Amino acid sequence: MLTPTNVAWLVLGLTGVGVYLTMRAFNKKNPAPYPPGPLGWPLIGNIQAIPHIKPWFTFTEWGKKYGDIAHVEILGQHIMVVNSTRTAIEMLDKKSNVYSDRPVLPMAGELCGWKHALALLPYGDRFRQYRKNLHHIIGSRAALKIYHPIEEIETRRFLKRVFTKPDQLREHIRQTAGAIILRIAYGYEVKENNDPFIDLADRAVHQFSLSSTLGAFMVDDMPFLANVPEWFPGASFKRKAREWCETLNEMASAPYEFVKDQMAAGIAPNSFTSELLKGRILSAEEDHIVKWSALSLYSGGADTSVSSIYSIFLAMTLFPDVQKKAQDEIDAVVGSDRLPSFADRDSLPYLEALVKEVQRWNVVSAAGFSHRVTEDNIYNGFMLNDPLTYPNPSQFSPERFLANDGKKPETDPYTICFGFGRRICPGLHLADASVWLSAAMSLAVFDISKVVENGVEITPEIDPSSGTISHPKPFKCSIKPRSAKAVALIQQDVDY
């Protein structure tokens, strides 16, 4: 089970400056020692200590043993694992000018091509332009209001799909997330079944999660391996990278060309991409920025919210008392004659706390994304310290985020789970809105409970997947309408 400690983990990969730091150690006395960490071997360092599967569990143990910052070294590259939210904020937020770069990831970035997307883009002018484009469209709750009708319509369609085929919950969540993000990014309305752009995003984002996992590919530790031919023994990663690169390039190009064709025909609806292309003759660099800014929005929105919404259904299956409190609040504020909307959000504090608790309890990116420093920095006596924990972390308790009996709410997980500083997720408001609306509408009309098979109640297992983006393990649950009025709400016609 994930704990709040996992939320605070950030892997600060100093890949690319490691050799420089090592050379300094030979030529100049280090101004401060490295933090403690597991002992390594001569030359290869801690190459065997880096976990490939669910690394956050190992990082948690390192935190207990070594403190807020643990240090490992792999072939001269120094990696710091931060196990303190306060420390992460003080470094990544307050000194974001130093900590906002990304390490070079030979597999995911160079060979598979994700270095062109915002997630792995180096800090610099192109990075700032991507973020400027995204901030203009989805950078605030106010900016997102124009897309509220899209989210509400697609979420209502989600209710219909779940009502019709409740055993295909995860597929319905993915369909809805894809429909929302494709409409916003490209003005594209998805097909009801087997939509090619949703299938494409599913494959590409899964491949990104695999290719960017810490320690998954030896080429990330020994970059020279990127130059070996595909036929070379042990170079199967090269063939895999070529296939994954083709998937990514198709994901970037196909919907982008769709928008251009629609604009040429004069039938393109407003979207993130059409707004950036409208009335402009683009240089090659400008075309690249628009295309990959859109890809960054598309890829970022196609998978992360899927994990969070699936986690909501898991939590409601496991914690019926929490579900009942949320439903009672919705019934009191909204009633049973309509579905909740964004206009109700400020009047539903318990539901707001529930969504925050889901983000804390089952973290989408448990190990975080690597950051790279652009210059040496000494923090509390180390080269780069105060664990922030939640009481009873294994307990699912939305109440921890409510002010009760003079007690202050615990730390908002949104200050952690969406990243830090200049690398904070630009789509956090969109993800937050999608997850909140799914929770509100679903709980308004559905009762979610454990499945009973052959007289035996099946309790889902809490076992998140490994990878950069983590999903709950597939589980069974019973999803039934709460009443005849709920059925009527679900079956109402919806359209753009």
Residue 313 in any domain: the answer is yes
Q: How far apart are CA 267 and CA 265, in angstroms?
A: 6
Closest CA to 258 of 274, 245, 246: 274
Q: Give the amino acid at 231.
A: W
Does the annotation list 112 as a binding residue? Answer: no
Per-residue pLDDT tens digits for 327-381: 999 999 999 999 999 999 999 999 999 999 998 888 776 555 566 665 555 545 5
Distance (Å) of CA 2 to CA 78, 197, 358, 460: 26, 32, 11, 15
Residue 51 in any domain: the answer is yes
Task: Using CA atoms of 383, 384, 387, 393 in order, give the dihedral in degrees to the nearest 10.
Answer: -120
Indicate if the alpha-carbon torsion angle 99, 101, 107, 108 is positive or negative: positive
Tokens of residue 319, six digits: 């914690």
| pTM as predicted | 0.81
What value does the mean pLDDT take over residues 1-5? 30
Percent of the chain with pLDDT over 70: 85
Residue 333 in any domain: the answer is yes
Return the pLDDT at 9: 29
Residue 137 in any domain: the answer is yes
Return the pLDDT at 66: 81
What is the domain range of residue 276? Answer: 4-490
Q: Backbone phi, then psi, for 72, in 5-degree steps?
A: -130, 160
Closest CA to 201 of 217, 184, 221, 179: 179
Per-residue pLDDT tens digits for 63-83: 788 877 888 887 777 877 877
Residue 203 in any domain: the answer is yes
Contact of 136 with 142, CB cutoff 8 Å: no
- CATH number reported for the structural domain that contains residue 449 in this entry: 1.10.630.10
Return the pLDDT at 15: 27
Q: How far apart are CA 13 and CA 41, in angstroms?
A: 19
For 243-247, 468-472, 485-489, which range has the lowest pLDDT when averaged over its residues? 468-472
Residue 55 in any domain: the answer is yes
- 16 has a pLDDT exceeding 50: no
What value does the mean pLDDT take over residues 423-434? 80
Distance (Å) of CA 433 to CA 144, 214, 269, 341, 464: 9, 30, 22, 11, 23
CA 286 to chain centre: 27
Contact of 477 with 317, CB cutoff 8 Å: yes
The 3-class SS string of the chain reads CCCHHHHHCEEEECCCCHHHHHHHHHHCCCCCCCCCCCCCECCCECCCCCCCCCHHHHHHHHHHHHCCEEEEEECCEEEEEECCHHHHHHHHHCCHHHHCECCCCHHHHHHCCHHHCHHHCCCCHHHHHHHHHHHHHHCCHHHHHHHHHHHHHHHHHHHHHHHHCHHHHHHHHHHHHHHHHHHHHHCCCCCCCCCHHHHHHHHHHHHHHHHCCCCCCHHHCCHHHHHCCCCCCCCHHHHHHHHHHHHHHHHHHHHHHHHHHHHHCCCCCCCHHHHHHCCCCCCHHHHHHHHHHHHHHHHHHCCHHHHHHHHHHHHHHHCHHHHHHHHHHHHHHCCCCCCCCHHHHHHCHHHHHHHHHHHHHCCCCCCCCCCECCCCCCECCECCCCCCCCCCCCCCCHHHHCCECCECCCCCCHHHHCCCHHHCCCCHHHHHHHHHHHHHHHHHHEEEECEEECCEEECCCCCCCCCCCCCCCCCCCEEEECCHHHHHHHCCCCCC
Residue 52 in any domain: the answer is yes
Per-residue pLDDT tens digits for 166-177: 999 999 999 999
Return the pLDDT at 431: 85
Tokens of residue 109, six digits: 């970035």
Task: Choose from 38-47, 54-63, 395-404, 485-494 the range with maximum mean pLDDT.
Answer: 485-494
Distance (Å) of CA 195 to CA 84, 149, 202, 267, 316: 42, 21, 11, 21, 29
Residue 495 in any domain: the answer is no
For 119-133, 242-256, 273-287, 400-414, which range has the lowest pLDDT when averaged over its residues? 400-414
Residue 380: half-sphere exposure toward Cβ, Cα within 13 Å:
13
Q: How far apart are CA 367 and CA 251, in angstroms?
A: 26
Return the pLDDT at 383: 53
Return the pLDDT at 374: 55
Percent of the chain with pLDDT over 90: 47
| Mean of the per-residue pLDDT values of the chain | 83
- 11 has a pLDDT exceeding 50: no
Number of domains in the chain: 1
Return the pLDDT at 171: 95
Indicate if the alpha-carbon torsion angle 335, 341, 347, 348 is positive or negative: positive
Return the pLDDT at 390: 72
Q: How far apart are CA 200 and CA 479, in angstroms?
A: 28
Task: Choose from 74-78, 134-138, 455-459 the range with maximum mean pLDDT.
Answer: 455-459
Angle between helices 304-318 and 284-301 (to 10 degrees): 10
